Structure 1
Amino acid sequence: MTNDEVVEAVRRHVRGRVMPPPATPQALAEAEAAIGFPLPSLLPRLYSEVANGGFGPGEGILGVRGGCPQGNFYDIAELYQDGPDPTGEIPAGFVLLYDWGCTIWSIADLRDPAAPMWCAHEGEIWPQGITLAERLLGTVTGTPRVEELLETHPAQQTRAD
């Protein structure tokens, strides 16, 4: 699916909901500068054409400055700079996008333009095997459950075999 199709699918999904205003070009540039990696092309489009966060699973992903907060977290750059991972297990370029609760986070790897998704929980981090676009499309076709994230943990895969 193209970025145009993902943007349109997310736009349709949030139609009728109260959403934050779109992100400004300055807020997007500030986020990239603070993180030190370019945002994957899909994310700035969503932030500037749909809403500055608030779309995606549950309450929606975090935005950039001025966007949709989630709990005590206000934007992806602020969270990235604050270093939310005291264990040091989350590598540079991994941006926390969504807090599922119980210390479970959806993370985008900005080192790759496709933004592969990872999960962090209890000091461990592992790949989800999907991209940001696939995560968002999964959300608009049926909200993913937190249990599905935990089922992708390598230990769970071993137990299932």
Structure 2
Amino acid sequence: MTDDEVVETLRATARARTLPPPTGPDAIAEAEQVIGFRMPQLLRRLYSEVANGGFGPDDGILGVSGGHAQGNFYDIAELYQDGPDPSGRIPAGLVLIYDWGCTIWSLVDFRDPAGRMWCNHQGELWPQGITLGEWLIGTSTGTLTVDTLLDSQPTVECDQ
């Protein structure tokens, strides 16, 4: 699926939800400055053309400043700045975007223009082998779930 198709698919599903409005370039630039990496182009487009977070799985991914919050987490830059992993096992440039609960997080790789996805659970970090676009479509349609994520790391169990 192309980036244009991902944007249109998420725009269509976003119409059925109450989401924050799209954000402007200043909020995106501010997040990138805090994170120290340029956001993957697809994520930039989604934040500026669809909504400032809230799309994707269940209650939606985190936005940038002023966007969709998830639980006690208000935006990706704030969460990144606070440090997701005090042990230092999460490399710089991997940004937490979705909390599945049970200490399971999905992260997008800002070092990769395609936005490769990673999963973190209790200090264990592993690549998902998919891009942000594939992750968003899979989570939005229900074909990618927390169980699917954990299947790639069989030692991890969580009651959801």
Which TM-score bucket, shorter chain as reference? over 0.9
Deviation at 1:58, TM superposition (A): 1.1
Contact in 2 for aligned 1:9/1:140 (Cα 8 Å) = no
Gaps of 5+ in 2: none
| Unmatched segments (≥5 aa) in structure 1 | 157-161
Map 1:2-151 to 2 at 5 A: 2-142=2-142, 144-151=144-151
Alpha-carbon contact 2:139-2:145 (below 8 Å) kept: no
Say what the alpha-carbon RMSD is for the aligned residues. 1.3
Counterpart residue identity of residue 11, structure 2: R
Return the alpha-carbon distance in structure 2 between the equivalents of residues 144 and 114 of structure 1.
18
Question: Matches of 1:102 and 1:87 in 2, distance apart?
Answer: 19
Q: 1:50 to 1:109 in 2, by over 3 A?
A: same
Question: Which residue identity does 2:80 align to in structure 1?
Answer: Y
Segments of 4+ in structure 1 off by > 2 A?
139-144
What does residue 152 of structure 2 align with?
152
CA shift for structure 1 position 65:
0.2
Structure 2 distance, partners of 1:148, 1:134, is 13
Tell me the percent identity: 69
C-alpha spacing 1:65/1:44, structure 2 compared with 1 (3 Å): same
Q: Could you tell me the TM-score, scaled by structure 2's length?
A: 0.93
Which secondary structure does the structure 2 equivalent of 1:10 belong to? Answer: helix
Residues of 2 paired with 1:16 and 1:37: CA distance? Answer: 32
Structure 1 SS opposite 2:78:
helix
Tell me if structure 1 keeps the 8 A contact 2:65–2:74: yes
Cα offsets for 1:23-82 (capped at 9, x unmatched): 121100000111010000000110011100000011100000000000000000010000
Q: How many pairs align?
A: 156
Kept after mapping to 1: 8 A contact 2:52/2:63? yes
Alignment partners' CA distance in 2, 1:54 and 1:114: 20
Please report the TM-score for the alignment, with normalisation by the length of structure 1. 0.93
**Distance of 1:126 and 1:84 partners within structure 2:** 15
